[in-house]
Amino acid sequence: MSIRIALEQHIKNRLDEILAGSKYEVIESLRNKERPIPSVVVVAGMATPCFGLSDITGNYTMPLSVIILSSIDKNSIDEHNNVVQSVIEKMRTHETRRVSTVNNLDLYQIDTQSIAQDNAERKMGVAIDYECVINYITE
């Protein structure tokens, strides 16, 4: 499993815990199917070795975005905002940061970098950008 897929899978697993039973589907960025609305899309960027070390140590920094997409036709503004707040809170938990759901992945730190909102026509979107420090060694 690639480092990008591993991080996206871990975050998806954690967000599924809070969104199970809701209208929102949590999906990874590399998914080949259509992206439904409402959904929460998890997008990991390119990993770079930490602290100028070689990648043989398995320590990386990675950008991560969590994008919450809603439709005014299917979701109320309050429902959309509640999902955004739930995602923000879940990403801050010790469990999300330190208890991995993916083999060989250790997530040491998640720092919020920015939160952007975009409402166009009948769609609502919020993108939350994070910087992650992880350790991942493939077998």
pLDDT score recorded for residue 66: 97
Q: Cα–Cα distance between 89 and 67 in angstroms, integer?
A: 15
CA 138 to chain centre: 21
pLDDT score recorded for residue 131: 96
Whether the Cβ atoms of residue 105 and residue 7 lie closer than 8 Å to each other: yes
Per-residue confidence of the chain (139 residues) as pLDDT tens digits?
889 999 999 999 999 999 998 999 999 987 667 778 899 999 999 999 887 776 667 889 999 999 999 998 888 889 999 999 999 999 998 888 888 888 889 888 899 999 998 888 888 999 999 999 999 887 6
**What's the pTM?**
0.90
Cis peptide bond prior to 38, omega within 30° of 0: yes
Q: Which long-range contacts (CB under 8 A, 24 or more apart) does 48-56 make?
A: 50/133
Q: Cα–Cα distance between 109 and 132 in angstroms, integer?
A: 5
Domains of the chain, with CATH numbers? 3-136 (3.30.2000.30)
Q: 125 - beta bridge partners?
A: 69, 118
